Amino acid sequence: MHVKVRRYTFTFQGFTLIEVLVVVAIISVLCALLMPQLARARKQARNVLCQANLSEWGKIWAMYCQVNNDSFNTGVVEDASWHRGEWITCLRSQYYTKMEILRCPLATTRLGGVTHGGPFNTYYMPVGGSSTDTGGEEPSYGMNDWVSNPPPGVTEIQDRPTVNNWRRASQVKYPNRVPVFADCMWRGGGPFDKGERGAPPSYDGAWSGASAEMEHFCINRHDGYVNHLFVDWSVRRVGLKELWKLKWHRNFNTAGRWTRAGGCPADSWPAWMQRFPDY
């Protein structure tokens, strides 16, 4: 019996230069398409972490109010130059073991030679630091100073009439509209609805001094939004133009000149803010 075995010969050829270039071009196109998506996903993840940080601050503030007769901090210190930073010392016992919650994940560095922060920069807190009086904290969140509860007889804090202060958490009529803590480029502020303190910044990260207080909160940290903790201890993102709709203090006009209800023309906003949603 004869068995015929067929022999098969396989020939492998290398890729031609054109084929290699085509593969490289395809990979480059895919990378170009995917990179923006990956960058966006990374930003979204950091935004979620920022909100998680503020949720932790909600627990801290709730505990502080609970043991202080429902009151927020006094907002008053001996050194009048840093009343806005008083929260750092009165809350330190609650956060000193988890210093990372002082900073939004998108604000990790401080600009050299300056003490204020920016959209993606921390600010420097030189007084009442974690170990000595020379300081050490570099936060990227700030307080709404209108919620503080000053001692009796204190009628003004840095030119802010304390009659506007909320003082106690239970006295807040609009707890989901009153900010306590938020993305910020300074240790805090008491935004007004009039004058320079209430005006939007001329560019993102503009610093006009410690008294231009709406500028402290109006920073483009999260693609047209900032994250806020409110008196009901909820956390949500707030549109930059929506800042003028929040009830910062008892008499804050939420239908002021920088709102649609106040008749604000779209072109009144600084150029960098005109593309953001109106409120």
Q: How far is CA 76 from the centre of its chain?
A: 24
Q: Is 279 a domain residue?
A: no
The count of structural domains within the chain is 1
Q: How far is CA 5 from the centre of its chain?
A: 77
Q: Is 196 a domain residue?
A: yes
C-alpha closest to that of 105 among 49, 162, 28? 49
- In tens digits, what is the pLDDT along the chain, a chain of 279 residues? 555 555 555 555 666 777 667 767 677 676 667 666 656 667 777 889 999 999 999 999 999 999 999 999 998 876 666 778 889 888 988 888 888 999 999 998 887 778 899 999 999 887 654 444 456 788 999 999 999 999 999 998 888 899 999 999 998 988 999 999 999 999 998 898 776 678 999 999 999 988 888 999 999 999 999 999 999 999 999 999 999 999 999 999 999 999 999 999 989 999 999 999 999
Question: Which residue type does 12 have?
Answer: F
pTM here is: 0.84
Q: Residue 57 in contact with residue 101, Cβ under 8 Å?
A: yes
Domain encompassing residue 153 = 40-273
In angstroms, rounded to a whole number, what is the distance separating the alpha carbons of residues 258 and 151?
A: 33
In this prediction, residue 32 carries a pLDDT of 67
In this prediction, residue 58 carries a pLDDT of 97
DSSP string, the chain: -------------PPPHHHHHHHHHHHHHHHHHHHHHHHHHHHHHHHHHHHHHHHHHHHHHHHHHHHTTTB------SSGGGGGGHHHHHSHHHHTT-GGGGS-TT--B--TT-SS-BTTB---B-SS-SSSTT--B--SEEEEGGG--PPTT--EETTEEGGG---BGGG-S-TTTSEEEEE-SSSEE---SSTGGGSPPSSTT----TT-HHHHH---SSSSEEEEEETTS-EEEEEGGGGGGS--STT--TTSTTSTTTT--GGGS-GGGTTSPP-
Q: Residue 46 in contact with residue 105, Cβ under 8 Å?
A: yes
In this prediction, residue 96 carries a pLDDT of 81
In this prediction, residue 19 carries a pLDDT of 66
Q: Residue 108 in contact with residue 122, Cβ under 8 Å?
A: yes
In terms of C-beta distances under 8 Å and separation of at least 24 residues, what long-range contacts does 221-225 make, across chains too? 221/104, 221/106, 221/107, 221/119, 221/120, 221/183, 222/43, 222/47, 222/50, 222/106, 222/183, 223/43, 224/275, 224/276, 224/277
Q: Is 7 a domain residue?
A: no
